[in-house]
């Protein structure tokens, strides 16, 4: 981690090496926000940090497992001491495990909640404590439309994301009096490695757009997959001064797939 961040906002983005996290990092960097990026995949994170630095952006990065509460606290303490106060926290780190509930292993269930829910708690606790003491800050948790709409073979994933949604809104209520805002962005099917890991043929892509009656799932009314930039734009809005009176809200970015649920 390198010090020397210029005056201005500093954002901590988790899960920043791939997919939506990388898109959020790029969007914030292009808006002039200094970045501290973390991801469990250190090799991919190094590539992402180098690319942004080569483009002239103010970025530092370090491997971090958000399921380790001690490591998160140590990282945030060191980040604020050597770089500066965290003004923005974006919780993107997440994992996916699919399958019928009656066949799901304890390990898969525990992993989903460890990353998707407990990881959000660890980061919000550590950063939120410092934000509230300063009287300012913005938190966004990237969840999923599966948190609100039941999906076959995604019960555990949806439950972990629903927990993170509820947690983030409650945190927003607790911290509102200190000026800290907490919101949620809920993506639908977004063209990332995570989504493509669920596809086994070209028919699966078509099925994502068209829906699947046998799975009681509608398609995407806007007839296109989401892009990482779509989610990043929503995050950037919610952490900006334009959203200064918005907190405890959930913004669904899914092309209409959840039918407004």
Q: Is the pLDDT of residue 22 over 90?
A: yes
Whole-angstrom CA distances from 131 to 8, 29, 84, 175, 179 are: 15, 21, 12, 9, 9
| 33-49 average pLDDT score | 98
Q: Is the pLDDT of residue 225 over 50?
A: yes
The percentage of the chain sitting over the pLDDT mark of 70, rounded to a whole number, equals: 92
- The continuous run of DSSP H or E covering 102 comes out as none
**Going by C-beta distance under 8 Å and a sequence separation of 6 or more, which residues neighbour residue 58?**
5, 6, 29, 34, 35
Tokens coding 238: 């919610």
Task: Say what the pLDDT of residue 75 is.
Answer: 98
pLDDT tens per residue across span 108-117:
999 999 999 9
In a domain, 70, yes or no: yes
Q: Is the pLDDT of residue 238 over 60?
A: yes
In a domain, 221, yes or no: no
In a domain, 177, yes or no: yes
Q: Give the count of domains, the chain.
A: 1
Residue corresponding to tokens 């500093």: 10
Task: Say what the pLDDT of residue 192 is.
Answer: 72
CA atoms within a 13 Å half-sphere pointing along the CA-CB vector of 171: 29
Residue corresponding to tokens 């962005």: 185
Whether the Cβ atoms of residue 26 and residue 52 lie closer than 8 Å to each other? yes
Strand partners, 184: 141, 250
pLDDT tens per residue across span 145-179:
999 999 999 999 999 999 999 999 999 999 999 99
Residue in 218, 216, 225, 212 with CA at minimum distance from that of residue 255: 225
Highest-scoring range by mean pLDDT, 91-100, 183-192, 209-218: 91-100
Task: Say what the pLDDT of residue 210 is.
Answer: 85
Q: Is the pLDDT of residue 217 over 70?
A: yes
In a domain, 5, yes or no: no
In a domain, 206, yes or no: no
Structural domain span for residue 76? 10-193+229-249
Numbers of helices and strands, H then E, in the chain: 9, 9
| 97-114 average pLDDT score | 97
Tokens coding 203: 């028919």
Whether the Cβ atoms of residue 226 and residue 191 lie closer than 8 Å to each other? yes
The percentage of the chain sitting over the pLDDT mark of 90, rounded to a whole number, equals: 84
| 222-247 average pLDDT score | 96
Catalytic entry in 9, 157, 192, 234: 157
In a domain, 222, yes or no: no
Confidence tier at 203 by pLDDT (50, 70, 90): low
Task: Say what the pLDDT of residue 205 is.
Answer: 66
Whether the Cβ atoms of residue 12 and residue 1 lie closer than 8 Å to each other? no
* DSSP one-letter string for 200-241: -SHHHHHHHHHEEGGGTEE--TTSS-B-HHHHHHHHHHHTSG
Structure pTM? 0.93
Q: Is the pLDDT of residue 53 over 70?
A: yes
C-alpha to C-alpha distance for 90 and 140, rounded to whole angstroms: 5
Q: Is the pLDDT of residue 5 over 50?
A: no
In a domain, 100, yes or no: yes
Confidence tier at 83 by pLDDT (50, 70, 90): very high
In a domain, 142, yes or no: yes
Question: What is the rounded average pLDDT for all residues in the chain?
Answer: 93
157 annotated active-site: yes
pLDDT tens per residue across span 54-78:
999 999 999 999 999 999 999 999 9
Q: In CATH, what number is assigned to the domain containing residue 54?
A: 3.40.50.720
């Amino acid at each position: 981690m390198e010090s020397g961040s210029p005056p201005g906002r500093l954002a901590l983005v988790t899960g920043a090496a791939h997919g939506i996290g990388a898109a959020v990092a790029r969007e914030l960097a292009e808006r002039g926000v200094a970045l501290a990026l973390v991801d469990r995949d250190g090799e991919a994170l190094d590539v992402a940090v180098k690319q942004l630095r080569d483009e002239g952006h103010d970025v530092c990065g370090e491997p971090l497992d958000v399921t380790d509460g001690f490591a998160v606290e140590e990282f945030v303490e060191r980040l604020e001491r050597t770089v500066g106060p965290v003004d923005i926290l974006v919780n993107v780190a997440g994992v996916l495990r699919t399958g019928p509930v009656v066949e799901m292993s304890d390990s898969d269930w525990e992993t989903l909640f460890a990353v998707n829910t407990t990881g959000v708690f660890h980061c919000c606790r550590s950063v939120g404590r410092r934000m509230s003491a300063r009287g300012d800050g913005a938190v966004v948790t990237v969840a999923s439309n599966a948190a609100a709409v039941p999906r076959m073979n995604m019960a555990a994933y949806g439950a972990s994301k629903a927990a993170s949604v509820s947690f983030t809104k409650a945190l927003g209520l607790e911290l509102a009096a200190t000026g800290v805002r907490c919101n949620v962005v809920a993506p639908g099917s977004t063209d990332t490695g995570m989504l493509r890991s669920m596809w086994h043929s070209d028919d699966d892509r078509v099925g994502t757009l068209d829906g699947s009656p046998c799975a009681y799932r509608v398609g995407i009314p806007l007839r296109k997959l989401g892009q990482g930039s779509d989610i990043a734009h929503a995050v950037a809005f919610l952490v900006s001064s334009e959203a200064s009176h918005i907190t405890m809200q959930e913004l669904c970015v899914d092309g209409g797939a959840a039918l407004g649920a």
